[in-house]
Structure 1
Amino acid sequence: MPDENGHPAVDEIELGAVFAALADPLRRQVVLKLAAAPDEIRHCSAFDLPVTKATRTHHFRVLREAGLIRQVDLGNSRTNQLRLADLQVRFPGLADLLLAEAASIGTAKGGAT
Structure 2
Amino acid sequence: MTRVHVSRERNSTLVKKKKAVALRQHGCLACEVCGFDFLQTYGERGREFIECHHTLPISSLGEHGKTNLKDLALVCSNCHRMIHARRPWWSIDDAKAALIGANGSRAQS
**Normalised-by-shorter TM-score class:** 0.3 to 0.5
Q: TM-score, normalised by structure 1?
A: 0.32
- The structure whose Rg is larger is 2
Larger RCO, structure (CA 8 Å, separation 6 or more): 1
